[in-house]
Amino acid sequence: MNNACENGLKRRDFLVTLAGGLSVGFLTGITGRLFGAGAVTTTPVNSYVKVGSDGSITLLYGGSEMGQGSMSGLAQILAEELMVDWKQIVVEQALAGSITYVTGGSSAVRTNYSPLRTAGATARELLVAAAMLATGDQTRSSYAAASGKIVYTPSGGGATLTWNYGDLAVLAAGTDAQALLPAVIPLTNPANFRIIGKPVARVDIPSKVNGSAIYGIDVWFPDMVFGVIKHCPTIGGVLAITPAKPAAAIAVVPCKASDNRGAVVAGTYNAVAVVASNTWAARNIARSLSVSWKLPTSTTNVDSAGILAQAQQLLTSGTPLVAESSNPGANAPNMESQVASAMTGAAKQVGGTFSFPYVAHATMEPLNCTAKITFSGSTPVSCEIWAPTQAANWVVGTAAGITGLPATAITVHVTMLGGGLGRKIEQDYISQAVQVAMVVKKPVKLTWLREEDFGHDNYRPMALVQANAGLDAANKIAAWSYRIVTPSILGQRGWLPPGAVDSQAVEGAVHLPYNLGTYITEWVSSPAGIPLGFWRSVGCSLNSFVTESMIDMLAKTAGIDPFVFRAGLITDPRAKAVLAAADSLSSWRKSLVAGHAWGMAIVQSFGTWVCEVIEISQPVAGSLKIHRVACVVDCGTVVNPDSVEAQMQGGILHGLSNALWGQMTFTNGVANQTNFNKYRMLKMSEAPTITVQIMPSTAAPSGTGEPGVPPSAPALANAYASLSTGKRVTSLPFFPGATMGGL
């Protein structure tokens, strides 16, 4: 607790010294709300709650706010149980440490919901215990907590007493109060929730409309220097000769490659950082810097044509691992033969080969990191890092490995993230900044200019899928075979045990809600020369496209409405309810104007059911007009319905944008798309009207950051297949090679 307090104070010291007039801005940026800089002392009641002598209530946030709203969502959970009003609280980003966690997998609310309720309630009970110490009366029912006050009403009559939390904080933080904590911390009855489930205003938004939110790329010190990174353009290439420092540069620093947890790869320098007095100067020096690279002996595994050829071969002749089947006891050949037999006996069959490109994260804020190392002579003494990171605690390890410092000498500030989408879990850009800070011995901000950000991403992997299915005479699925060839995200980073199926490769292809009859789902691992990463919804961005396209193809073959067909195959009651709600919400589809078509898809991902119905037309060949989307979501208990709506809106557009145009291609190891002009994305004028309906639920909360994405692409494809000028799209993107003009 003392550490947390010191860290909090240290943070504010930094804030106040930062760039003079900008310091107030930084406060709003990080905390979401401005609070005065008077002589306020704060007392940590527990790891998540600090109470100020002025009555201020500060809630610590251990995640990474990248637009998904969890900085507010987690605070809502704490505030609910702490019995404070939403307008009373300030949210403060925690330094890397005991309460920070890896932000990914749409996990913030679903994994923190119960622990944070308990944390908030524990802080509340400690404050009650402090009041008990003040009165000497330990009758819990005589105390009530509300709006940041404890009110004591003696059971035998007498005057009531009222304390602000600030009056009790010091006592609450002591061991005497802890001794009075009940064995079981009572939680609020959900029927009485005041803040959970309410569309409260997000705490980070005020700072995002006046320039005061501080993203990693905005960290600024008067004495800092600015670096840009220049990787070997060919993936897998390394530095042959360290280039001489041009006179205009402050430094040219060779940077070692690092693995996915930040450990540097000895002797493998895959980039140089150029440091100058500002980013533009660094950029110009880097552009004109002639660097001698040693290229990989073969680029087959980092070339789109080569990779596709290998995948095509593996699709027919590779050795599959069974991810799931209707008969878990059977081995692959046995099961494949059972499915083949059922397929032959089916009344009607559909099938297709589906292909997917690599796609980029393309976060609006490119990768960057600021590092400052203090030295005693040439020995590092301490290291401070400011980074837009989804994995604060890993950053500590990355810095420890490079500096040789213990974790206690490393401070990691998580800034606002201008999008993360899975990319900012990686450690490469952090490692490079620390390596540069070791050399320049000044605070340094290292930025990946957009060309480097596109050209050296950890990409969503390509995939090739062969899917076949057969219907029986009653139009039920009798046979289903599914084989995906895709490189392994987990395997590439050494996280996959030998012989195991990569869960990321098959998510969205297993645990389907449909009765598939006799079925097999297999994965064939393909070579992974391109760096791979977790991209919003990961495997579901591949597999759900195939499965929901296949279901639509089956429905069309059966001549049955896609809603009716799915309803006949789904047994999960929540899925059935979502389907029925989407049917009602999209009643407009029954009276579309001529030349329009609709399509739908339903997917469960990260625990959440989402059904999307999309209306399109094609006024001109080579593009589509997306008119509207109806979306029904069941994500269990809702913390902030406004944030759920926003995540569905955003996830749908992200999925549609990438379905239409998203594609990275590589020629001999070099990325062909290096900026947004060659990586077209949806714009406001192209965005459909989106209606989101949230199912009421008392089930445990599930994810919302990613689940909007998976149904959008197949729903679009299913609509396109119904359009008179359309066709069944089995290869993404819909319109490859699209470019985007300037403003």
Partner 1 sequence: MFTLNINGQNYQANVTDGNTPLLWVLRDVLGLTGTKYGCGIEVCGACTVTIDGQREHACVYNVSSAVGKKIVTVEGLSTDNSHPVQKAWINNQVPQCGYCQSGMIMATVGAINAGHHGSEILPEVPHLCVCGTYSRLKKAIQTL
Contact map string, positions 695 to 714, toward partner 1, x by CB under 8 A: --------------------
Interface size with partner 1, residues (CB under 8 A)? 71
- 271, 240 contact by CB (below 8 A): no
State in Å, rounded, how far the first CA of the chain is from the last one: 51
Residue 25 phi, psi dihedral angles, 5° rounding? -60, -40
Which among 8-16, 66-74, 126-134, 337-345 is the span making contact with partner 1, rule CB under 8 A? 66-74
Contacts for 530 with CB less than 8 Å, ≥ 6 apart: 235, 301, 302, 307, 358, 459, 461, 462, 487, 666
- Please report, as residue ranges, which positions from 543 to 582 form the binding site for partner 1 (by CB under 8 A): none
Q: Using the structure block, give the residue that is written with the tokens 């939680």.
A: 187
Q: State how far the Cα of 707 lies from the Cα of 714, in Å rounded to an integer.
A: 13
Contact map string, positions 184 to 213, toward partner 1, x by CB under 8 A: -----------------xx-xxxxxxxxxx
User: Is the CB of 138 or the CB of 277 nearer to partner 1?
Assistant: 277
620 burial (CB, 10 Å; 0-12 / 13-18 / 19+) is exposed
Among 292, 677, 725, 731, binds partner 1 (CB under 8 A): 677
Q: Using the structure block, give the residue that is written with the tokens 């989407």.
A: 582
Which among 103-111, 488-496, 619-627, 681-689 is the span making contact with partner 1, rule CB under 8 A? 681-689
Cα angle for residues 660, 647, 624 (degrees, 5° grid): 20
Residue 739 phi, psi dihedral angles, 5° rounding? -120, 170
Q: How far is the CB of 134 from partner 1 (least distance, A)?
A: 39
Going across the sheet that includes 625-634, the strands are 596-605, 608-617, 625-634, 689-694
Q: State how far the Cα of 161 lies from the Cα of 151, in Å rounded to an integer.
A: 6
CA trace torsion 69, 75, 79, 82 (10° rounding)? 160
Among 66, 91, 235, 602, binds partner 1 (CB under 8 A): 66
Which among 107-115, 486-494, 587-595, 643-651 is the span making contact with partner 1, rule CB under 8 A? 643-651
568 burial (CB, 10 Å; 0-12 / 13-18 / 19+) is middle
Count other C-beta atoms under 10 Å from residue 475's C-beta: 18
Among 133, 172, 217, 614, binds partner 1 (CB under 8 A): 217
Does 223 bind partner 1 (CB under 8 A)? Our answer is: no
Strand blocks (E) in 297-378: 321-325, 348-356, 368-376
- Please report, as residue ranges, which positions from 323 to 382 form the binding site for partner 1 (by CB under 8 A): 362-366
Q: How far is the CB of 648 from partner 1 (least distance, A)?
A: 10
- Token pair listed for 321: 């691992």
Count other C-beta atoms under 10 Å from residue 604's C-beta: 23
- 252, 289 contact by CB (below 8 A): yes
Instruction: Please state whether beta strands 57-61 and 89-93 pair in parallel, antiparallel, or not at all (unpaired).
Output: parallel
Q: State how far the Cα of 597 lies from the Cα of 616, in Å rounded to an integer.
A: 6
Residue 533 belongs to what H/E stretch? none
Q: State how far the Cα of 508 lies from the Cα of 554, in Å rounded to an integer.
A: 18
- Please report, as residue ranges, which positions from 229 to 288 form the binding site for partner 1 (by CB under 8 A): 277-281, 284
Which among 46-54, 64-72, 162-170, 510-518 is the span making contact with partner 1, rule CB under 8 A? 64-72
Q: How far is the CB of 61 from partner 1 (least distance, A)?
A: 15
Does 455 bind partner 1 (CB under 8 A)? Our answer is: no
User: Is the CB of 480 or the CB of 535 nearer to partner 1?
Assistant: 535
Residue 59 phi, psi dihedral angles, 5° rounding? -105, 130
Residue 342 belongs to what H/E stretch? helix 332-344
Q: How far is the CB of 312 from partner 1 (least distance, A)?
A: 32
User: Is the CB of 606 or the CB of 679 nearer to partner 1?
Assistant: 679
Does 690 bind partner 1 (CB under 8 A)? Our answer is: yes
User: Is the CB of 212 or the CB of 722 nearer to partner 1?
Assistant: 212
Among 237, 296, 461, 650, binds partner 1 (CB under 8 A): 650
Among 67, 166, 262, 380, binds partner 1 (CB under 8 A): 67
Q: How far is the CB of 211 from partner 1 (least distance, A)?
A: 2
Q: How far is the CB of 247 from partner 1 (least distance, A)?
A: 13
User: Is the CB of 167 or the CB of 204 nearer to partner 1?
Assistant: 204
Q: How far is the CB of 733 from partner 1 (least distance, A)?
A: 16
Among 226, 480, 523, 734, binds partner 1 (CB under 8 A): 226
User: Is the CB of 34 or the CB of 161 nearer to partner 1?
Assistant: 34
Q: How far is the CB of 256 from partner 1 (least distance, A)?
A: 26
Among 676, 693, 723, 738, binds partner 1 (CB under 8 A): 676
- Please report, as residue ranges, which positions from 601 to 620 form the binding site for partner 1 (by CB under 8 A): none
Cα angle for residues 262, 267, 272 (degrees, 5° grid): 75
User: Is the CB of 33 or the CB of 256 nearer to partner 1?
Assistant: 33
Among 136, 222, 494, 497, binds partner 1 (CB under 8 A): 222
Among 312, 349, 515, 675, binds partner 1 (CB under 8 A): 675
- 4, 47 contact by CB (below 8 A): yes
User: Is the CB of 218 or the CB of 552 nearer to partner 1?
Assistant: 218
- Please report, as residue ranges, which positions from 133 to 162 form the binding site for partner 1 (by CB under 8 A): none
- 632, 578 contact by CB (below 8 A): yes
